[in-house]
Structure 1
Amino acid sequence: MLATPDFGENVKREYSDAKEDYENKRKDCKRTAFQRDKDRILYSKAFRRMMHKTQVCVIGEMNEHLRTRLTHTLEVSQIARSIARDLNLNVDLAEAIALGHDVGHTPFGHAGERVLSDFLIGEDKKIEKDFDLNFTKINMGFKHNFQSVRILTEIEKGYYGITGLNLTYPVLEGILKHTKMKVTIKKEDEKEKKLIEYENITNNPKYHIDKEFSCSIEGQIVALADEIAQVSHDLEDAIEANYDSSTIIRCKLNELANKEGKIPDIGSQQFVKKTSNGEYEIDEKYFKNFVSYLIAQLIYHAVTTIEKNMEHYIEKKKNSPHIGYPVDEDLATADVVYRDYELYQDLEKIKNKYVINNYKINRIDGKARFIIRRLIKAYLTNPKQLPDSILKLYSKECTIEGLFEKIPIDHNNEKNIRYLDKECFEDFKKHIINDPKFLRAICDYIASMTDNYAIEEYQRLYSGEMNF
């Protein structure tokens, strides 16, 4: 069995947990470590904020029925649980990873993520030049999977005396590995894939950074479930939002219905009908049924393929003392499960061509990039425009030589650079905005925003009306 056990060394947390220790001594307590992790994520503020974060289409501007980052997360959780249950794996671990996998996402989806990434890796040359930043010395990066772990281990508040939610490492490692670990960085005239630097993550051996796939089979399944949800539900949202490309998407899916070969076998279910020329097309009234059928096909292929992969892996490792967690092969991600599966590849091509390239998406992405770049520039121009909560966190971590001891204490007995003398602040301002800890604080703040909050913050900083 490759199911990750919910006991033993692998469920260790960074901090001791008195409540968990007490519950484990009670005979009537049946909650496992991974069930506790699932609950902690579910009750977190970061989880709730996903309700107002973009998945692909900005809600409100297009259609309130479209998926948000939160509903996408719930659907990934459902798919991951289904696959894990069919394979007799640890369903609680799969669910905990799925629920936490996107809590680090920025407002406006991947458009917002790209702006913060370009900023921290030094790809935004305009900002770098305007503010005289030196990214060759800063050596940082931004990616939502790393940010999810950062939120759950350092930013989210839930327990007195510790940072983060004190989750087990298999949950955090699965969240970290649910998507690609490297970003593309330009090096002179060439591009290379590079592992970005993230404080307290990339240097932590418990995350098994040397492997790009999750070291739990459940973590690999969540990465797979994420891909299944995207290639199917993004198409459904494109039709619901009535993109200009929705007609093309329908045509391509009709071609798929005829190409798949299995569709005619279930044509009697009425969501696929036969046309006068003998071909099949999706009945518009039953489009959702068709998407459901596609997901079922993707899951069935995944379960049968992973089952075979697990059998081969167990056979190969039969003389090894370590068969379960951590696994050292990619057995269940989309790269392995769907590399020769034509249905998945066709769906991905349709999504990449006719959803991501849609003009409505590109217009809104353009607005998103503009807003987030302007937020960054505002905070670099005057760091005191950041709220006290962010300035206090930075002030605690500030290591600029000669500055830390000068930072005043506020009425709550906490250091806050807001109250530096004007002359002292100006003397150190260039050092502050070049401090990696300050740049990370800016990105933490922006990444935590919902779509609406980011828009409102932009209006507060740049609107001509003096609203207080």
Structure 2
Amino acid sequence: MVTRAELEAREGATLAPYATLSQDTRGREYPEAESATRTAFQKDRDRVLHTTAFRRLEAKTQVFLNASGDHYRTRLTHTLEVQQVARSVALTLGLNETLAETIALAHDLGHPPFGHAGERVLNDLMEVHGGFDHNAQARRIVTLLEFRRPDVPGLNLTLDTLDGLNKHDRADLGRPSLEAQVVDAADALAYTAHDLDDGLRSGLITPDQLATLPLWQALTQRAELRSTTITDSERRSLHRELLGWLITDLSVTSDASIRASGITGAPDARAQPRNLITYSDSMRELLRDTATFLQQNLYRHWRVEMQVEQATRVLTTLFHALVGRPSMLPPLYQRWATERGTHRAVCDYIAGMTDRYALDIHASLTPPGSATPWPR
């Protein structure tokens, strides 16, 4: 058997000097004995994987509603793609791939049903009650809402993993670890690549629309694709080519950035004035243009806008109905309503719903043929 001490020794011998080592973890809020055969970050990863919140990602929207088709990305498949990219880049750079993997698996736990549309709706509904942000909700889930033991709130993850989930309010925290920076970059990489792929698969965006996009022009040249129409096989090949291109650019540029910084340890990375994990200037420009294209042509497509309207009606109805009658909440959330405030308890309950569950609960409150009970 390989012991935890041996695994930690391997990290020390093989990882880069600026990687976050398991043996140097900043510990947990509630002290506990560590495993004899797993590192602290391996324990964190396993705890995230076994949460209810992680399982629910399977039925939460990425761009297309979960019921739109079996082949579109869900919040879970997006998370797994981020995990794969983050692990690959971390390995290439000599960083702690287990920590990067753990942060990637946890980074979207806080997403509500119906994707970013659901997040905007909940933030508006909670405007005078603290707002709603999926990054903050992910941390709330792992520190409070999920629990392993009755005497300890949350999952009691290491402070290193929790820090990786802090995307905002970092004034007193410094930069995130290099592993957390890798996850942030991998997140943008993954959704750019797969949203293009899903948009093409769905027909909401076409090769003709993409013809003037600089990233698409460069990509088709790299793949030696000259046709103005593409087959499913060519679309898949382009997706693979794009992933490889983005991952290589991110890895090569970040390696040069780290070397140029002169850092010699993990604390040095957090003290830098800017993130060291980055793309080349030319790639950043291509990604900015692509993000604008996707915003205008996919995320605001009339069919997607209809889904946004559906999300708005469903979540607004549920929120006001449950706030007005908190006795409809499950017992645990009724207790939390008393302890933490009704609005926040209702928000936590709704944010944890899958698309299907939110639609089912909404249907039970609005029988067929009745008008949607908009709040007055």
Instruction: Flag whether TM exceeds 0.5 (same fold).
Output: yes
Which residue number corresponds to residue 41 of structure 1?
A: 48
Unmatched segments (≥5 aa) in structure 2 = 1-16, 371-376
Match of 2:300 among 351, 357, 360: 357
- 1:93-119 residue CA offsets vs partner (Å, 9 max, x unmatched): 000000000011000001110011112
Which residue number corresponds to residue 104 of structure 1?
A: 110
Query: Relative to 1, partners in 2 of residues 1:71 and 1:172: Cα closer, same or farther, differing over 3 Å?
Result: same
1:176 aligns with 2:166: yes
Q: Tell me by how many angstroms 1:172 deviates.
A: 1.4
TM-score by length of 1: 0.70
More helix by share: 2
Judge conservation of contact 2:220–2:238 (CA < 8 Å) in 1: no
Which residue number corresponds to residue 233 of structure 2?
A: 285
Match of 1:330 among 274, 277, 294: 274
Judge conservation of contact 2:60–2:115 (CA < 8 Å) in 1: yes
Which residue number corresponds to residue 2 of structure 1?
A: 18
Aligned-partner Cα distance in 1 for 2:57–2:43: 20
Judge conservation of contact 1:101–1:176 (CA < 8 Å) in 2: no
| SS of alignment partner, residue 89 of structure 1 | coil
Which residue number corresponds to residue 15 of structure 1?
A: 30
Aligned-partner Cα distance in 2 for 1:331–1:302: 12
Which residue number corresponds to residue 131 of structure 1?
A: none
1:158 aligns with 2:152: no
Judge conservation of contact 2:207–2:230 (CA < 8 Å) in 1: no
Q: Tell me by how many angstroms 1:374 deviates.
A: 0.6
Judge conservation of contact 1:55–1:108 (CA < 8 Å) in 2: yes
| SS of alignment partner, residue 11 of structure 1 | coil
Query: Relative to 1, partners in 2 of residues 1:257 and 1:115: Cα closer, same or farther, differing over 3 Å?
Result: closer
Judge conservation of contact 1:379–1:386 (CA < 8 Å) in 2: yes
Query: Relative to 1, partners in 2 of residues 1:283 and 1:461: Cα closer, same or farther, differing over 3 Å?
Result: closer
Q: Tell me by how many angstroms 1:294 deviates.
A: 1.2
Query: Relative to 1, partners in 2 of residues 1:6 and 1:66: Cα closer, same or farther, differing over 3 Å?
Result: same
1:223 aligns with 2:229: no
1:388 aligns with 2:331: yes
| SS of alignment partner, residue 176 of structure 1 | coil
Aligned-partner Cα distance in 2 for 1:362–1:308: 42
Unmatched segments (≥5 aa) in structure 1 = 122-134, 182-194, 196-207, 399-436
Q: Tell me by how many angstroms 1:266 deviates.
A: 4.9
Alignment of 1:72-91 (within 5 A): 72-91=78-97
Judge conservation of contact 1:103–1:151 (CA < 8 Å) in 2: yes
Which residue number corresponds to residue 448 of structure 1?
A: 352
Which residue number corresponds to residue 302 of structure 1?
A: 250
Judge conservation of contact 1:257–1:282 (CA < 8 Å) in 2: no
Q: Tell me by how many angstroms 1:338 deviates.
A: 5.2
Aligned-partner Cα distance in 1 for 2:124–2:216: 40
Which residue number corresponds to residue 11 of structure 2?
A: none
- 1:361-409 residue CA offsets vs partner (Å, 9 max, x unmatched): 11001100111011111022222222212011233x26xxxxxxxxxxx
Quick one: percent identity of the two aligned structures? Answer: 35
Q: Tell me by how many angstroms 1:13 deviates.
A: 0.5
How many residues end up aligned between the 2 structures? 353
Aligned-partner Cα distance in 2 for 1:242–1:264: 22
Query: Relative to 1, partners in 2 of residues 1:6 and 1:324: Cα closer, same or farther, differing over 3 Å?
Result: farther
Aligned-partner Cα distance in 1 for 2:223–2:125: 50
- 1:286-343 residue CA offsets vs partner (Å, 9 max, x unmatched): 1111111111111111111111111122x2x56xx8744644443245xx53554243
Match of 2:342 among 412, 417, 438: 438
Aligned-partner Cα distance in 1 for 2:91–2:53: 27
Judge conservation of contact 1:221–1:332 (CA < 8 Å) in 2: no
Q: Tell me by how many angstroms 1:65 deviates.
A: 0.6
CA RMSD, Structure 1 to Structure 2 (Å): 2.5
Structure 1 range deviating more: 384-393 or 355-364? 384-393
TM-score by length of 2: 0.86
Alignment of 1:122-201 (within 5 A): 135=128, 138=129, 140-177=130-167, 181=168
Which residue number corresponds to residue 198 of structure 1?
A: none
Aligned-partner Cα distance in 1 for 2:91–2:44: 19
Structure 1 range deviating more: 100-109 or 453-462? 453-462
Match of 1:233 among 187, 191, 194: 194
Query: Could you tell me which amino acid in structure 2 is paired with residue 88 of structure 1?
Result: G
Q: Tell me by how many angstroms 1:70 deviates.
A: 0.3
Judge conservation of contact 1:51–1:70 (CA < 8 Å) in 2: yes
